[in-house]
Amino acid sequence: MTVQADTMDSSLGSVSVTRMAGGFDVPWALAFLPDGGFLVTERDGTLFHVQGGKKNRISGTPAVAAEGQGGLLDVMVPRDFQTSREVFLTFAKRQGRGAGTALAAGRLSADNSALVDLRILFEAAPGATGGRHFGSRVMEARDGTLFISLGERGDRPSAQNLRLHQGSVVRINRDGTLPDGNPFAGRTDAQPEIWSYGHRNPQGMALDLQGNLWVAEHGAKGGDEVNRVRKGANYGWPVISNGRHYSGAKIGEGASKPGMEQPEWYWDPSMAPSGMMIYSGRMWPEWRGHIFVGSLKFDYISRLSGAPLKEAEQLRGTATGRIRDVREAPDGSIWFASESEGAVFRISR
C-alpha cells in the first residue's frame, strides 16, 4: 500500500511525491519489471522484489564485499526480460585480499523469489584494496551489448593505465564475451573490454534519446562531471580536473589538455552525483531529453538541459534526502531511491 508523502515545487508547477516502499538499509538502485513490480538493491547485498506494497527478499544473489562504498550496487532489467527472465547486477567482488567491481547475471524465478543460474560475466582486473570508488552502473545499449562503469578504486593513476580496468567504462556482450568494435581490442598494452577511460568514480549512467551513452561521476573537491561517453576517449582523471584535491592542492596539470575530453557540465562545489536518467517526455513533454542526476550531498535532484548543457533546476522536498538512484518508470513518472529515508519514491503529476 502506497502512502502519499508530499508535494514538491518544480518549474512546471507542483508535483506529487509518493512513497512506494520503505524500510531499506542503504538502497542503491532500482529497476522496473514488466508486470508492474520493481527490484531494489541494498548495498549490504540484499535484492528485493516489491509489488503491491509488499517487499520480499530474493535469494541467490552473489556474495559481495560490503565494505566502504562497496557492496551490491546496480540492478538492470533488459528489454527481453519477459522471455529471458534475466537480471543483471553490479557488485564489489572479493578478490584475494582486495576487491573489484563485477557483473553477474541470473534468471528471476517465476514467483520472483530467487535468482537461479547465477554466473559472473565480468570482473575488473586486477583487484584493489580499500573501500573506495567501485562505480558502478550497468546499461544495455541499443545493440544489446552492455556498458559497465568502473571507479578507479582510489588509485588515481590507474584511470590512465589501459592495462587496468579501473577508472573506465567497459563494453561486453551479454554472455560476457568481447563484442566487435571495442577501441583497444587486439592491443597487448590494454584491456580489450575498455570503451573509455580517465574516469574517477562514475556512479550515474544513462542513454539519451538517440542511444548515446552518458555518465555522471564524482570529482574530488569540486569538479563533479556529466560526460558524454565516446568510443576510445580519455576523460582526463587525474591529469585534468575542474576541482582540487580535498587538501586544497591542485589536481594534475589543470582543467584541460589536448587529447583529453571536457565535461558537458561540471559542479563546483561538488554535489556528489549518483543515479542518472535522461527523460523521454512521456509525463512531462517539456522535459523531453533533459538529464536528471541525484545528489548525495545536497538532497536534491538536478535537472540539466540545453546546449551547452546547464543546470536548469534543483528538485527538492522533504523526501529527497540523499539520492542514490533516479529512474524513469514505464508511465513516465520519475522514481528515486533515498538513502537517508531508506525508501523509494515516485514523482508524478
* d(C-alpha 276, C-alpha 208), whole Å: 11
Contact 126, 169 (CB under 8 A): no
Q: Specify burial of residue 21 (Cβ count, 10 A radius: 0-12, 13-18, 19+).
A: buried
| 133 counts as catalytic | yes
Which among 221, 256, 119, 232 has a CA at the least distance from the CA of 175? Answer: 119
Closest CA to 81 of 60, 51, 106, 58: 106
Give the Cα separation of 257 and 255 in Å (integer). 7
C-alpha cell at 127: 583487484
The dihedral through the CA atoms of 124, 130, 135, 136 has a sign that is positive
Q: Which of 133, 165, 218, 290 is catalytic?
A: 133
What is the per-residue DSSP string for 207-254? E-TTS-EEEEE--BBB-EEEEE--TT-B--TTTB-SSB-TTSPBPTTB
**Nearest by Cα to 29 from 275, 208, 217:** 275
Q: By CB neighbour count within 10 A (0-12 exposed, 13-18 middle, 19+ buried), where does 16 fall?
A: middle
Residues designated catalytic? 133
